[in-house]
């Protein structure tokens, strides 16, 4: 249970049944261009100069085209999504592009 203190409080009242946690997986499908429009807001990419950002977007667009024939990507945000890990990955991508 993600909210153990809240669940404990509900139990202590004694007037409710056992607390349950409901969770829905979330999958969202984006078109290629919509995905590329969002990328400049992702962590380290937001701080890139315009010319470098254009290179990253061009490279990602090319990768999407090569991998997904329908030009769609499925994005799943699993439980435990770690923004710092994503930022670290993007920093590595940028460093590789600059090399």
Residues sharing a CB contact under 8 Å with residue 39, sequence separation 6 or more, in sequence order: 45, 56, 57, 60
Whether 77 is in a domain gets the answer yes
Tell me what the mean pLDDT of segment 10-36 comes to: 83
Q: What is the pLDDT of residue 68?
A: 63
Whether 46 is in a domain gets the answer yes
Tell me what the mean pLDDT of segment 82-95 comes to: 73
Whether 7 is in a domain gets the answer no
Listed ranges 22-31, 41-50, 86-95; the one with the highest mean pLDDT: 41-50
Whether 4 is in a domain gets the answer no
Tell me what the mean pLDDT of segment 36-61 comes to: 90
Q: What is the pLDDT of residue 81?
A: 59
Whether 11 is in a domain gets the answer no
Return mean pLDDT, the chain. 78
Whether 16 is in a domain gets the answer no
Residues sharing a CB contact under 8 Å with residue 40, sequence separation 6 or more, in sequence order: 46, 53, 57
Give the total number of structural domains in the chain.
1
pTM to 2 decimal places: 0.44
Whether 5 is in a domain gets the answer no
27 compared with 38, residue with greater pLDDT: 38
Question: In whole angstroms, how far apart are CA 1 and each of 9, 14, 22, 95?
Answer: 13, 18, 10, 39
Provide the residue range defining the domain that includes 58. 25-98
Q: What is the C-alpha to C-alpha distance for residues 8 and 35, in angstroms, rounded to an integer?
A: 41
């Amino acid at each position: 249970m993600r909210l153990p203190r809240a669940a404990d409080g509900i139990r202590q009242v004694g007037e409710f049944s056992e607390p349950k946690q409901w969770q829905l997986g979330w999958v969202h499908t984006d078109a290629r261009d919509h995905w590329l429009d969002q990328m400049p807001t992702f962590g380290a990419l937001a701080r890139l100069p315009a010319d470098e950002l254009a290179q990253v977007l061009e490279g990602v667009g090319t990768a999407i085209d090569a991998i997904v024939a329908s030009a769609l990507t499925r994005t799943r945000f699993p439980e435990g999504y770690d923004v710092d890990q994503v930022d670290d990955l993007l920093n590595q991508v940028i460093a590789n592009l600059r090399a």
